[in-house]
């Protein structure tokens, strides 16, 4: 699906261009409502019972194959967090039972094949892209990486050292410290808030036995969904996929998802002392909105764009940056998980001496969203922003297939994309007001957790008026009053 734009220059008066680029001219432009036609994907099933999303595309002599596995760090214990983080990435670097890591590297380079491996939360995933003429050879290598990893000890140690270095450097980045503390406070010991720690990376936590145990429980065919796009027909790719899956072990048992988080933190101000000229601020709380085909979800998407998700045109940016000049960037986020409520929050950085003033401005803006509906123009602009960017979800067949696989993993209907577009286009100012009214207090501060990383000796007066103040030690994994 593409959009062609033709600019006709000849014969137009020179002054016309200046006239047409004025804000009033732009605002007066009218367009037909965006209609969405879901690009065609075909869903198949191959032995031993794996779902496959398929899009045939002969524009280039390339084929891409995608694998998504149900299972990631959130399905395992805290003691296994290091291993569950490591396993998807070590599939690429650790070799196979038949090939050394160097041999895998050389073969992928010889065949000009590109691979990706990753994981997080409830899933793990991989993909491979190759020339059509090397499809059989590359699938065999990729299948061995997924099914029969060797977890070469030298490569495991290299990965462990890189992650240890990364973990140690996190404390030097104020924004990372603020996010980490905010997650610790909101989620406590729930997998949603876990971050990799040095104690997760002890050598015994990454032993071959533990890595193989984690691998067996995730990378079995019962957890697998496949996707294929490119220069191949279904009749050609089907036997190749069945050969790829031949002998793949079944899952020993179903992975059980964790219970939803409980959000038991006490509201108030939580300060991490740092000798800095700037303060990093996160102000937020839990919300009851979930990813679902209902009015609240779509209203929250539009409301977040209006609040702080649209860059310089958002209410927070206008108030804090444009009008007061107190921050370079300020933004909001409203997470909407599928199985539980999420988080509504705002974040910014400002000079230490305006810390309290900025928090009050953010709180006032939040309170206004809870007290009064946005105007029609704000809602219309937010809807247009989402709708006009919608086509970029389908720039390539690969994007189409990977999204369908994601929706299946989240138990969303496969026509979720047109439903989403229809849902956001139907949002009204009243619906936005209602979802904010239920999730925020009129003063914007009640029930809020405020995390500040900075130097309290330099803060402007009035911090104690924002709520109970607690000071967090930098090495605390989780803080409670």
Residue 418 sits in a domain of what CATH number?
3.30.830.10
The closest of 133, 198, 283, 481 to 206, measured between CA atoms, is 198
Q: Rg (Cα) of the chain, in Å, rounded?
A: 25
pTM of structure: 0.86
What was the pLDDT predicted at 475? 44
Sorting pLDDT into bands at 50, 70 and 90, what band is 394? confident
Residues 360, 211 share a domain? no
- Cβ distance 331 to 320 under 8 Å? no
Where a domain ends, among 230, 245, 260?
Answer: 245
Chain-centre distance of CA 281, in angstroms? Answer: 21
5 in a structural domain: no
| Phi, psi angles (nearest 5°) of residue 344 | -115, 130
Residue 261 lies in a domain: no
Mean pLDDT of 455-468: 97
Is 406 domain-assigned?
A: yes
Residue that terminates a domain, selected from 245, 278, 313? 245
Residue 10 lies in a domain: no
Domain hosting 202: range is 42-245
Residue 6 lies in a domain: no
Based on the domain organization, do 297 and 367 belong to the same domain?
yes
- The answer on 296 and 219 residing in a single domain is no
Q: What percent of the chain has pLDDT over 70?
A: 90
Please give the tally of structural domains in the chain. Answer: 2
Q: Collapse the DSSP code of 1 into the 3-class scheme (helix H, G, I; strand E, B; otherwise coil) and give the result.
A: coil
Q: Is residue 394 part of a domain?
A: yes
201 shares a domain with 66: yes
The predicted-structure confidence for 176-224, as pLDDT tens digits, reads as follows 999 999 999 999 889 988 999 999 999 999 999 999 999 999 999 999 9
230 and 296 housed in the same domain: no
83 located within any domain: yes
Report d(CA 85, CA 107) in Å as an integer: 26
Do 228 and 302 lie in one domain? The reply is no
pLDDT in tens, 85-121: 999 999 999 999 999 999 999 999 999 999 999 999 9
Residue 167 lies in a domain: yes
């Amino acid at each position: 699906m593409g959009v062609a734009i033709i600019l006709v220059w000849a014969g137009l008066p020179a002054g016309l261009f200046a006239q047409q680029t004025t804000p009033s001219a732009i605002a007066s432009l009218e367009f037909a409502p965006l209609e969405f036609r879901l690009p065609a994907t075909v869903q198949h099933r191959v032995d031993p019972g794996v779902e496959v999303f398929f899009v045939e595309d002969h524009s280039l002599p390339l084929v891409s194959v995608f694998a998504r596995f149900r299972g990631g760090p959130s399905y395992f214990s805290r003691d296994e967090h290091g291993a569950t983080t490591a396993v998807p990435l070590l599939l690429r670097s650790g070799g196979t039972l038949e090939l050394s890591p160097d041999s895998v590297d050389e073969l992928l380079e010889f065949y000009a094949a590109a691979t990706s491996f990753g994981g997080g939360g409830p899933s793990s995933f991989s993909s491979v892209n190759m020339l059509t003429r090397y499809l059989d050879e590359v699938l065999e290598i990729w299948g061995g990486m997924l099914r029969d990893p060797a977890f070469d000890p030298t490569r495991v140690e290299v990965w462990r050292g890189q992650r240890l270095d990364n973990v140690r450097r996190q404390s030097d980045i104020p924004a990372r410290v603020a996010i980490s503390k905010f997650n610790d406070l909101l989620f406590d010991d729930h997998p949603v808030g876990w971050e990799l720690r040095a104690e997760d990376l002890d050598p015994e936590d990454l032993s071959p036995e533990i890595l193989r145990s984690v691998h067996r429980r995730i990378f079995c065919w019962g957890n697998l969904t496949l996707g294929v796009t490119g220069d191949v027909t279904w009749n050609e790719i089907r036997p190749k996929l069945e050969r790829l899956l031949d002998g793949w072990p079944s899952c020993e048992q179903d992975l059980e998802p964790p219970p939803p988080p409980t959000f038991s933190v006490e509201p108030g101000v939580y300060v991490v002392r740092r000798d800095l000229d700037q303060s990093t601020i996160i102000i937020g709380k839990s919300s009851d909105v979930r990813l679902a085909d209902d009015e609240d979800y779509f209203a929250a998407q539009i409301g977040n764009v209006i609040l702080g998700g649209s860059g310089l045109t958002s209410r927070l940016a206008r108030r804090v940056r444009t009008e007061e000049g107190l921050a370079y960037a300020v933004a909001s986020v409203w997470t909407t998980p599928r199985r539980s409520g999420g988080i509504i929050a705002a974040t910014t950085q400002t000079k230490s001496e305006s810390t309290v003033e900025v928090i009050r401005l953010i709180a006032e803006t939040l309170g206004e969203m809870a007290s009064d509906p946005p105007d029609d123009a704000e809602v219309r602009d937010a809807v247009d922003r989402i709708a006009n960017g919608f086509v970029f979800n389908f720039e390539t067949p690969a994007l189409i297939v990977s999204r369908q696989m994601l929706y299946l993993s989240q138990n969303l209907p496969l026509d979720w994309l047109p439903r989403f577009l229809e849902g956001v286009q139907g949002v009204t100012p009243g619906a936005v007001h209602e979802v904010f009214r239920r999730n925020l207090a009129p003063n914007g501060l009640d029930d809020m957790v405020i995390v500040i990383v900075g130097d309290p000796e330099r803060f402007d007066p009035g911090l104690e008026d924002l709520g109970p103040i607690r000071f967090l030690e930098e090495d605390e994994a989780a803080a409670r009053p």
